[in-house]
A and B are shown apart, each in its own frame.
Chain A
């Protein structure tokens, strides 16, 4: 079997000129049993075997880390909880304040309207339809008593 290609790759590997793909080929090649490798290449096998590392952290590590990070979330939530706890109260207070000011404002405007309406009614009811006292006298059918009762304070018709 011709191992020229592998030998070439190996030379380039030690020159740091191989691509990742070529390095994978070398790794796969040296994963073979030692007896299957040619004598000249056998010595390089441990160099590639040493790179196969399966050092790993167990599931305990994950559990510990997740617990630690979740605790961090809780701590963070706790630090902002005062502001958050007050927020609904502030909102309720704001709503009450708005309602109060609105009702006051509405009440005020209703009152004003009513006063104005009363005045106009009064004016309409008591507005004199006649301009001349003589006309008034005629309308009342010459009843001076009535006139007297109407205009007594001035005594104008006497």
Chain B
């Protein structure tokens, strides 16, 4: 196994970890703290790096646990849903400003729906649909079976589709 370096193997995971922590804590400052804490924890366990199969899986597992701990402590699962801490994607290619605003609004609504999903579904969806990870890897990150991951993603996608289309149809 190749030698692991903090600078080249651990630090570059920061944004992936940040997005995962953000999806769980729903707060940018908390998410940043979680990533920092994760990296310091990983650094303090550097004696064990040689025995770790995947440093990415190791980091993701620690990050998720720390984010869940923070959620439990702060008990802010519902309060922070209104947090406007997300950057909307760039729609500068769309010529019409009104159209841009509408698109941004729709994307924002989908993200709000994702944030309202149960944590497991949210995390599975984040790792699959945002980070593009194979089911097998997600299963190992979250200590689940591949089938459980698939079920979580299936439920998440179904809920988002139904809720979003309902909002579009009835203007809710």
Residues of A within 8 A of B (CB): 13-16, 20, 23-24, 33-34, 43-47, 49-57, 61-62, 64-66, 68-69, 72
A68 to B90, CA, bound (A): 34
Q: Which of B7-15, B50-58, B59-67 contacts A (4 or more CB under 8 A)?
A: B7-15
Interface bin, chain B? 35 or more
Cβ–Cβ contact B7 & A16, under 8 A: no
Cβ–Cβ contact A53 & B130, under 8 A: yes
Cβ–Cβ contact B164 & A57, under 8 A: no
Question: Which of A20, A47, A68 meets B164, CB within 8 Å?
Answer: A47
Question: Which of A23, A45, A50 meets B114, CB within 8 Å?
Answer: A50
Known pairs A45-B103, A56-B15, A66-B11; list 8 more (Cβ under 8 Å). A14-B154, A14-B157, A24-B132, A34-B94, A34-B99, A49-B106, A61-B14, A65-B39
With A50-B110, A57-B14, A72-B43 known as contacts, the answer to whether A64 contacts B36 (CB < 8 A) is yes
Looking at the assembled complex, report how far the CB atom of B52 sits from the nearest CB atom of chain A, in whole angstroms: 17
Which 3 A-B pairs give the minimum distances between C-beta atoms? A50-B110, A16-B154, A46-B106
A55 to B31, CA, bound (A): 11
With A14-B157, A33-B94, A54-B89 known as contacts, the answer to whether A62 contacts B11 (CB < 8 A) is yes
What is the predominant secondary structure among interface residues of chain B facing chain A?
Answer: helix
- Tell me whether B44 is interfacial, beta carbon within 8 Å: yes
Residues of B within 8 A of A (CB): 6-7, 11, 14-15, 18-19, 22, 28, 32, 35-36, 39-40, 43-44, 86-87, 89, 93-94, 99, 103, 106-107, 109-111, 114, 128-130, 132, 134, 150-151, 153-154, 157-158, 160-161, 164-165, 168
Cβ–Cβ contact B103 & A46, under 8 A: yes
Beta-carbon nearest neighbor of A19 in chain B: B134
Question: Which of B36, B109, B130 meets A46, CB within 8 Å?
Answer: B109
Cβ–Cβ contact B157 & A16, under 8 A: yes
A-B contact pairs, 23 of them (CB 8 A): A14-B154, A14-B157, A14-B158, A16-B151, A34-B99, A44-B161, A45-B103, A46-B106, A47-B110, A49-B89, A49-B110, A50-B114, A51-B129, A55-B15, A55-B86, A56-B18, A57-B32, A61-B14, A61-B35, A61-B36, A65-B11, A69-B6, A72-B44
Beta-carbon nearest neighbor of B125 in chain A: A51
Question: Which of A47, A49, A54, A66 meets B103, CB within 8 Å?
Answer: A49
Beta-carbon nearest neighbor of A31 in chain B: B93
